[in-house]
A and B are shown apart, each in its own frame.
Chain A
Amino acid sequence: MADNNSMKKETRHLRPLMMMLVAIVFLVVLMCSLSLAIIAYDQEGSMVNTIKTTDSITIMYTEGRSGINITNALPTKDSIGKELSGEGATFSFTVSAKLKSSNVRYEVTAIKDSSSTLEDDDVRLYLEKSVDNEIYLPVFGPSSFTPLKEQSSLGSPKGSMIIETGTFDKTQTNNYILRMWLKDNYNVDKDSKTYTVTVNVYAASNAS
C-alpha cells in the first residue's frame, strides 16, 4: 500500500516533466522543419521527385568612389540643384539583391551627422534611381531633411530620414544618385556652416 502510494506520487511528479519534454521535442522538430530540406522520395517510379530547398538571399549596399563635398556653397534653386554633376557634387551608390523566390523590402536612409550646423530647412536633398544605370528618374525630393519620429519597421533609426523604399522580387541592382544643396532662400552671413549626411540601407525578408 505504502509502495503503491509512493509510486503514485512519483508518477504524478513525473507527469508535468513528461509533458514538458514532449512539448520541447515537438518544438525542436517544428524549428528544424523550418530550415532543413525535406525530401520526398519514392522508389516506385511514377511519383515526381521534388527537392525543396531554403531560399538564399544576398543584399548588398555599395557606395561610389566619393561623396558630396561642396565648399563655399551658395543658395541654389532646386532647378539647378537637380542638375548638379561632377565629382564632389553627387553621391552614387547601388543597392543590389540576389534572390531565388523571396521578396525583400528595403529602405534607403539618410543619417544626419550631429556636427551639422545648418538647419534641416536650409538644405535640400534629391535622389534619382536607375535600374539600367542609364536613365535616372527622381524618387525623392527635392526636399528638406525631415527626421523620423521613431524607428521604422525595417530599422531606420529615429532621427534619420527615409529617402527611398523598395522591394526586390528578383535578382537586380538599383543604381542611385544623391544630390544635396543649399536652399535658395538661405542668407549667407559671416559664419561658415556645414551639413553632413551618410546613407544607410536597411532590408528585411519574411522568408521562412
Chain B
Amino acid sequence: MRDNSSKQILLSILGVAILIVAVIGVSFAAFTYAGVGKKENTITTGSITMNYTEGAKGISITNAMPVSDAVGKAITNTAGAADTGSDLAGGAGHLEAGASGVFDFNVNAKINGSVTIKYDIMVVKKSSSTLGDAYAKLYLEKSTTSATTGYSQSTAPTAYGSLPAYTTATTNAGKALTTGKVLHSDTFTTGTTHYYRLRMWVADTYTVTGTAQTFTVTVNVYGQAV
C-alpha cells in the first residue's frame, strides 16, 4: 500500500516536472521566423575548346641545297599517289615518292561566351639536328578560309636561330619554356579555324660541305584564355 502511494507521488512529481520544462521551453523562444527565398541566383560558365591538328605528312626534303628565300617560299607539295619523287624547283632539294615539301596543320577554337584565346605556335629543334641554327630557314603562311586556299605570309623567312625564344615577354600565352622558338602568335575571339603551312629550306648563306647535315623540328601550340 505504501509502495503504491509512493509510486503515485513520484509519478505526480514527474508529471509536474515535465510541465515545468514545457512551460520554460515555450517561454524561451516566443518568436521565430524563417523567410524562404524563391529567386534563384545563377552563374553559368562559358566553354572553350582548342585543337591543334597536324596534316598527314611532315616536311621531308633530301639533298637540300642552299636556296634563296624566293625559291624556298615556292616549295610545293608532292604530286600525289602516283608520284615517284621529284626535284624541287630552284634546286631546293628532292622529294622522295610520297614525301612532302610543306607541313600543313590547323588550330581550331570553339568558344561559348565572350572570351579571347591567345595562342603561340612554337618550333622545337630535334637534338639530333646537325645543321646550324643559322642555316635552317622557316617560313609560315596562314589561311582563315580553307586548308588549300587563301594563304598569306604570317612569318617571313627566318633562320631558326633568329626566331625569338619562348618567354613570357614574347608570347601570347605567357608560358616560359626552356627550349623552342616562337614561330607565330595569334588570337581567337570567336570559334573558328586557322590553317597554317610551314616551309623549311637551307639558307643561301650555307656552304655545302662533304658531310650531309639534317635539321628537324616539331611544332607545338600553346593557348590561354585571357
Contact = CB atoms under 8 A, between A and B. Distances in A.
A70 interface: yes
Given A155-B32, A186-B45, A190-B49, A74 B113 contact: yes
Nearest to B42: A196
Interface string A1-43: 0000000010011011101100110010011001000000000
Contacts of A87: none
A23 B39 contact: no
B27 interface: yes
B41 to A, nearest CB: 4
Interface residues of B, number: 41
Contacts of A182: 43, 45
Contacts of A73: 43-46, 113
A56 to B, nearest CB: 10
B44 A194 contact: yes
A20 B29 CA distance: 27
B42 A195 contact: yes
Contacts of A19: 9, 12
A206 to B, nearest CB: 7
Contacts of A20: 12, 15-16
Interface in B63-98: none
B41 A178 contact: yes
A180 B31 contact: no
Contact of B40 (A17, A67, A74): A67
Contact of B19 (A24, A155, A208): A24
A70 B43 contact: yes
Nearest to B48: A188
Contacts of B37: 61, 63, 93, 111, 198-201
B42 A201 contact: no
A68 B8 contact: no
Interface string A131-158: 0000000000000000000000011000
Nearest to B46: A72
A193 B45 contact: yes
B112 interface: yes
Contacts of A188: 45-48, 113, 115, 225
A102 to B, nearest CB: 8
Contact of B33 (A91, A181, A189, A203): A203
B23 interface: yes
B52 to A, nearest CB: 15
A62 B15 CA distance: 44
Given A17-B12, A74-B225, A193-B44, 5 more contacts: A72-B46, A190-B49, A203-B35, A207-B30, A208-B27
Ranked nearest first, the 7 interchain pairs of A and B with the lowest CB-CB distance are: A72-B113, A61-B35, A67-B39, A16-B8, A72-B46, A68-B41, A201-B35
